[in-house]
């Protein structure tokens, strides 16, 4: 329940903007062949920017 409340507060107060900017940056990177792997990383970061609470970053 706390995770949902914190995620909603984060989304309302700036998480949507951060996530959209990461999505837009990933789309621009996807236009080039060299930037394609970086675009996948940017889209993954965007998903963490939209809803960060209750998730863990795991090194691959």
* Cβ atoms < 10 Å from Cβ of 14: 11
User: pTM of the entire structure?
Assistant: 0.81
Residue ranges per structural domain of the chain: 2-50
DSSP 12-34: IIIIHHHHHHHHHHHHHHTTSST
Query: What tens-digit pLDDT sequence spans the chain (60 residues)?
Result: 888 999 999 999 999 999 999 999 999 999 999 999 999 999 999 999 988 888 777 787
Closest CA to 55 of 23, 15, 25, 26: 15
Q: pLDDT value at position 54?
A: 82
Tokens 């970086």 correspond to what residue? 38
Q: pLDDT value at position 1?
A: 87
Alpha carbon 15 to its chain centroid, in Å, reads 9
């Amino acid at each position: 329940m706390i995770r949902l409340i914190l995620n909603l507060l984060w989304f309302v107060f700036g998480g949507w903007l951060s996530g959209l900017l990461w999505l837009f940056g990933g789309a621009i990177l996807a236009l080039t062949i060299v930037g394609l792997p970086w675009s996948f990383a940017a889209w993954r970061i965007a998903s963490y920017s939209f809803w960060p609470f209750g998730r863990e970053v795991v090194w691959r």
